[in-house]
């Protein structure tokens, strides 16, 4: 491992984030009697911090202002929050964390109630969570989207400007896609990278997943408590099991949690949508909407939009469905109309986003979307659920939660029909083969319709139903037997993600990119630095940004995650290249790419002419094809990097 990795501040990132989130949440509690409890304060605090960052970053993203100004402005805001918290705590003579830690301890003891098997359940749940965190620290699951998302953070840091270049390419004159405008999650990660003196690839592949996975399970724990403190540990255990066995599908929210939680859409699916569910469970049980809950709902909706463009439509849709369920169950119009306040607050942000999409013509291309190439609802459903028993378990869980049990005779359970109503509305309006053409044409886009399945919150509903089922028998022995049996059924019904050899990769470097990628990037940096020994770091960075590289797609997915070097041919080029280059230039680039990497008979003169026309400074050639291509490469091409799988040539064009 790189010694800089261990000597940097990167490993304290989750601790500092948890502390800052707690301080913000506790400050909200002191000022407005907001969410109480250590987990609740951390979650409300993090959501508020992301909202604050999003609001501050909006003019920077829209006007392409300097990133460093955004960094210092947000850092000043966080410091101001910490100072205000310390002063208020001093004036109120309260010791931070002490009361919440004691309350958490009492909560754990109260849940167990001298039942030794509850401690075993808690230990098993904690062990699963630690295992999941350790796996994402040691390994990485690559997704082509990182070629865009992590590269976006790299670009912000390197160029000190917001959203003026296509992150996947970095080419001068490339256009930042309108779909991702006003999404601040990658800028937030860039701020963390700068603050903790680390690279975005290290932060995303090794550090931030630990923090986000912990937040996810905090939400699960709090939801479990709302169903009854006696089932909170069970809820946590079943939730961890269900996330673990999402293996058959890479589209399930559990798979997104374990495979790529650093991406904004994964944060949406595993943090903000479950948080929305948690708040609605709270207000349905209380049968009223308090001012802190109104603010919290607004914060969740805005944070969803900050995390991903997907949050611009998924979060409001789920909010509307839950609001309808609230009205049907609570039957208080006054409280229902209060739900319009968070919706009204988020509306200007949504309309701004829609305006930008319309201006760029992006809404017109929804029907031409990319992603999962499935043309039937059945195929999409089977891809999402991955051939496991999740749909059957979902139905069974809803039935269990809808049954009126003996202990509820005197006092009706307000949550009894909540999942039945919300799931039914979602299926009738959005998740069925009849409305699918309209939903994907006007809301989600073709190819990514499967994301509406996230709205079902399948794993959470199953965990709620099965944890309820386990505690139905009066005898503890039967309860324990049910826990063991259901845990076994969950494990064998799905597929452990960690058992897939082709899903996770291991690397010897903290960035978790291939050794050849590092060698090639470092070789380019050394080459541009050699032009003048008096070059400053800023000048070297500029020269690297202007260095144009042609390499195979499988290698290009990693380069811009590591260094800000321009790629002329990259993943998804067919969807984006036309936006900033002529069809003639693209046709010539595509012909050169196919000639070089599909090993057609070409002459050195052809390669030299096309490389010069396209302005390519470096060309990567597979090592095992170097001899076969020896007669095709011009003599003035200079070998500057001799990697194990790829060789890098400098073209020496004028």
Distance linking the first and last C-alpha atoms of the chain: 39
Q: Residue 32's closest CA among 22, 24, 43?
A: 24
Largest Cα–Cα distance of the chain, in whole Å?
A: 89
Instruction: Give the burial string for 181-196 (b: 16+ CB within 10 Å, else e).
Output: bbbbbbbbbbbbbbeb
Residue 422 pLDDT: 94
- pLDDT tier at 249 (50, 70, 90 boundaries)? low
Which of 111-115, 163-167, 522-526 shows the lowest mean pLDDT across its residues? 111-115
How high is the pLDDT of residue 55?
97
Average pLDDT, the chain: 86
Q: Can you list the alpha helix ranges (DSSP code H) found in 331-457?
A: 333-338, 340-359, 377-385, 390-402, 418-429, 436-439
| Contact assessment for residue 298 and residue 342, using Cβ atoms and an 8 Å cutoff | yes
Question: 122, 110 in Cβ contact below 8 A?
Answer: no
pLDDT tens across 11-21, in order? 788 999 999 99
- What is the structure's pLDDT at 80? 97
What pLDDT is attached to residue 373?
Answer: 47
CA–CA gap between residue 524 and residue 88 (Å, rounded) = 53
Contact between 465 and 457 under an 8 Å Cβ cutoff? The reply is no
More confident residue, 333 or 365: 333
Question: Looking at residue 71, what is its pLDDT?
Answer: 97
Distance CA 205, CA 150 (A): 10
Q: Among 284, 293, 294, 262, which Cα is nearest to 329's? A: 284
Residue 450 burial (C-beta neighbours within 10 Å; 0-12, 13-18, 19+) = buried
User: Given a cut of 60, is residue 387 above it in pLDDT?
Assistant: no
In the structure encoding, which two tokens stand for residue 647, read together? Answer: 């060789």
pTM across the whole model: 0.93
> Helix 310-330 and helix 273-286: axis angle, to 10°?
20
pLDDT in tens, 462-510: 999 888 888 777 677 787 788 888 888 877 777 666 666 667 777 888 8
pLDDT for residue 498: 66
Other Cβ atoms within 10 Å of 99 Cβ, number: 13
Identify the CA nearest to 191 among candidates 72, 64, 15: 72
Q: Among 392, 399, 396, 389, which Cα is nearest to 491's?
A: 389
Nearest to 10, CA basis, from 274, 244, 193, 250: 193
Query: Would you state the structure tokens that stand for residue 312, as one six-digit string?
Result: 């611009």
* For range 576-581, the mean pLDDT: 52
Q: Is the pLDDT of residue 533 over 60?
A: yes
Q: Which helix (H) or strand (E) holds 520?
A: helix 515-529
pLDDT of 393 reads 84
Residue that wins the pLDDT comparison between 609 and 366:
609
Over residues 600-613, mean pLDDT? 88
Rg of the chain, C-alpha, whole Å: 26
Least confident span in 20-29, 318-327, 644-653: 644-653
Q: Which residues of 285-320 are buried (b: 16+ CB within 10 A; e: fewer)?
A: beeebeebbbbbbbbbbbbbbbbbbbbbbbbbbbbe
Q: Is the pLDDT of residue 369 over 70?
A: no
Helix or strand run (H / E) with residue 307: helix 291-307
328 pLDDT exceeds 90? yes
Tens of pLDDT along 126-144? 999 999 998 888 888 777 7
pLDDT at 388 (0 to 100):
65
Backbone angles phi, psi at 39, to 5 degrees: -65, -45
Range in 182-186, 450-454, 476-480 the model is least confident about: 476-480
User: 101-105, 250-254, 356-360, 449-453 — which one is most confidently predicted on average?
Assistant: 449-453
Residue 3 pLDDT level (bands cut at 50, 70, 90) = very low
| Per-residue confidence band for 633, with pLDDT thresholds at 50, 70 and 90 | confident
Q: What is the mean pLDDT of residues 316-340?
A: 96
Q: What is the pLDDT of residues 281-312, one digit of tens each?
A: 999 999 999 999 999 999 999 999 999 999 99
Give residue-wise pLDDT tens across range 553-569.
Answer: 888 889 999 999 999 98
Q: What is the pLDDT of residue 73?
A: 97
Give the per-residue pLDDT at 120.
Answer: 87
Q: Range with the lowest mean pLDDT among 38-47, 100-109, 152-161, 267-276?
A: 100-109
Q: Which residue has the tokens 């959203």?
A: 163
Q: Residues 208-226: pLDDT tens digits?
A: 999 999 999 999 999 998 8
Q: Rounded to 5 degrees, what are φ and ψ at 642?
A: -115, 80
- pLDDT, tens only, 65-94: 999 999 999 999 999 999 999 999 998 888
> What average pLDDT score do residues 49-69 get?
96
Angle between helices 13-32 and 208-227 (to 10 degrees): 40
């Amino acid at each position: 491992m790189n010694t800089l990795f261990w000597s940097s501040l990167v490993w304290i990132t989750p601790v500092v984030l948890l502390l800052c989130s707690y301080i913000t949440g506790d400050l909200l509690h002191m000022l407005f009697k907001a969410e109480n409890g250590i987990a609740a304060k951390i979650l409300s605090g993090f959501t508020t911090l992301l909202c604050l960052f999003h609001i501050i970053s909006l003019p920077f993203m829209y006007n392409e202002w300097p990133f460093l100004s955004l960094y210092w402005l947000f850092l000043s805001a966080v410091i101001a929050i910490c100072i205000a918290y310390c002063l208020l705590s001093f004036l109120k003579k309260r010791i931070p964390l002490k009361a919440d830690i004691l309350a958490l301890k009492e909560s754990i003891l109260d849940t167990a109630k001298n039942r030794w098997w509850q401690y075993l359940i808690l230990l098993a749940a904690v062990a699963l969570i630690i295992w999941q965190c350790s796996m994402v620290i040691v390994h990485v699951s690559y997704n082509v989207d990182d070629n865009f998302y992590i590269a976006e953070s790299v670009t912000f840091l390197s160029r000190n400007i917001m959203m003026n270049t296509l992150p996947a390419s970095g080419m001068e004159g490339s256009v930042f896609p309108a779909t991702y405008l006003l999404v601040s999650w990658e800028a937030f990660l860039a701020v963390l990278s700068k603050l903790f003196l680390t690279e975005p690839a290290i932060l995303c592949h090794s550090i931030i997943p630990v923090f986000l996975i912990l937040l996810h399970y905090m939400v699960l724990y709090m939801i479990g408590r709302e169903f009854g403190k006696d089932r909170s540990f069970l809820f946590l255990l079943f939730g961890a099991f269900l996330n673990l066995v999402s293996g058959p599908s890479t589209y399930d929210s559990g798979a997104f949690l374990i495979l790529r939680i650093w991406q904004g859409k994964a944060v949406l699916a595993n943090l903000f949508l479950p948080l929305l569910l948690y708040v609605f469970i709270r207000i349905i049980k209380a049968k009223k909407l308090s001012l802190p809950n109104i603010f919290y709902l607004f914060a969740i909706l805005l944070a969803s939009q900050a995390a991903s463009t997907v949050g611009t439509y998924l979060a409001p849709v789920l909010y509307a469905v839950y609001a309808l369920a609230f009205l049907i169950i609570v039957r208080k119009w006054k409280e229902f109309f209060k739900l319009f306040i968070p919706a009204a607050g988020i509306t200007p942000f949504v309309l701004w986003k829609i305006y930008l999409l319309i201006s760029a013509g992006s809404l017109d291309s929804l029907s031409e979307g990319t992603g999962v190439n499935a043309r039937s609802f059945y195929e999409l459903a089977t891809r999402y659920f991955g051939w496991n028993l999740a749909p059957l378990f979902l139905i069974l869980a809803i039935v269990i939660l809808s049954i009126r049990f003996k202990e509820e005779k005197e006092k009706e359970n307000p949550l009894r029909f909540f999942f039945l109503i919300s799931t039914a509305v979602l299926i009738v309006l959005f998740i069925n083969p009849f409305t699918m053409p309209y939903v994907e044409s006007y809301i989600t886009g073709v190819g990514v319709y499967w994301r509406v399945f996230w709205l079902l919150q399948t794993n959470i509903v199953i965990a709620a139903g099965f944890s309820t089922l386990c505690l139905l028998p009066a005898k503890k022995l039967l309860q324990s037997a049910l826990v063991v049996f259901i845990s076994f059924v969950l494990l064998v019904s799905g597929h452990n993600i960690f058992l897939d050899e082709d899903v996770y990769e291991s690397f010897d470097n903290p960035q978790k990119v291939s050794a050849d990628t590092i060698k090639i990037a470092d070789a380019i940096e050394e080459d541009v630095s050699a032009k003048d020994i008096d070059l400053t770091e800023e000048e070297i960075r500029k020269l690297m940004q202007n260095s144009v590289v042609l390499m195979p797609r499988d290698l290009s997915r990693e380069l811009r995650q590591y260094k800000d070097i321009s790629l002329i041919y990259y993943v998804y080029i067919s969807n984006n290249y036309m936006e900033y280059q002529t069809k003639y230039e693209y046709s010539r680039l595509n012909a050169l790419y196919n000639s070089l990497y599909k090993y057609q008979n070409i002459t050195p003169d052809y390669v030299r002419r096309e490389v010069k026309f396209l302005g390519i400074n470096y060309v990567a050639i597979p090592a095992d094809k170097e001899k076969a291509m020896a007669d095709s490469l011009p003599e003035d091409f200079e070998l500057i990097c001799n990697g194990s799988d790829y060789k890098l040539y400098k073209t020496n064009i004028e």
